[in-house]
């Protein structure tokens, strides 16, 4: 597929850029190819592996800390169990909070300031403002992230629906709910 011919002009003021045959017209970028669902999935998978490794490392540190602060307690029947100290439990939950913060900052700052996470960079895709073609900025990236967060509050079912929402977009732009809320478009990085 080739991009639409140049000179097609920009959409009239007030009309959103349209996509046809996998391409979209965005002011400042002209005809850009919309990222495929497969590219987006693999990018998210790569990011998940990266964050999963970080989570496992922090989890191992937390479990080691719990084990080191545990002490034996014997109940009235003579059964002895290891019970972590209050400080060990607090440390463990602080580490989990740090992992959640790292995940948030990774997605928010990378998309807001760079237009792509490491997974998206590896697949040569980028998140841009659908009206200007420029980076979303921190505000738009926060709105985008918050849709994922809100979807996650519904025991993961909502998050699954957010991911699948790209299949419900009949505009040809493959925008999920997060994209529509943040007014972004995921495109192949212009070469």
State pLDDT tens for residues 128-140.
999 888 999 999 9
Give the pLDDT of residue 173. 86
Q: Tell me which of 23 and 49 has the higher pLDDT.
A: 49
Question: What integer pLDDT is reported at residue 2 of this predicted model?
Answer: 47
162 to 31, 112, 152, 154, 158: CA distances (angstroms): 27, 19, 9, 11, 6
Q: What is the pLDDT of residues 111-160, one digit of tens each?
A: 999 999 999 999 999 999 998 889 999 999 999 999 999 988 888 888 89
Under 8 Å between Cβ of 185 and 128: yes
């Amino acid at each position: 597929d080739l991009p639409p011919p140049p000179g097609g002009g920009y959409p009239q003021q007030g009309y959103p850029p349209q996509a046809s045959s996998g391409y979209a017209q965005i002011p400042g970028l002209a005809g850009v190819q919309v990222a495929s669902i497969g590219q987006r999935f693999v990018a998210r998978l790569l990011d998940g592996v990266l964050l999963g490794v970080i989570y496992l490392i922090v989890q191992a540190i937390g479990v080691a800390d719990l084990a080191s602060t545990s002490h034996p307690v014997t109940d009235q029947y003579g059964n002895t169990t290891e019970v972590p100290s209050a400080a060990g439990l607090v440390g463990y939950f602080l580490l989990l909070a740090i992992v959640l913060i790292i995940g948030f900052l990774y997605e928010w700052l990378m998309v807001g300031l760079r237009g792509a996470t490491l997974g998206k960079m590896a697949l040569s895709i980028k998140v841009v403002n659908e009206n200007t073609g420029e980076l979303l900025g921190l505000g738009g990236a926060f709105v985008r992230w918050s849709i994922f967060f809100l979807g996650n509050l519904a025991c993961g079912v909502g998050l699954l629906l957010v991911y699948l929402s790209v299949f419900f977009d009949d505009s040809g732009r493959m925008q999920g709910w997060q994209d529509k809320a943040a007014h972004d478009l995921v495109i192949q990085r212009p070469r």
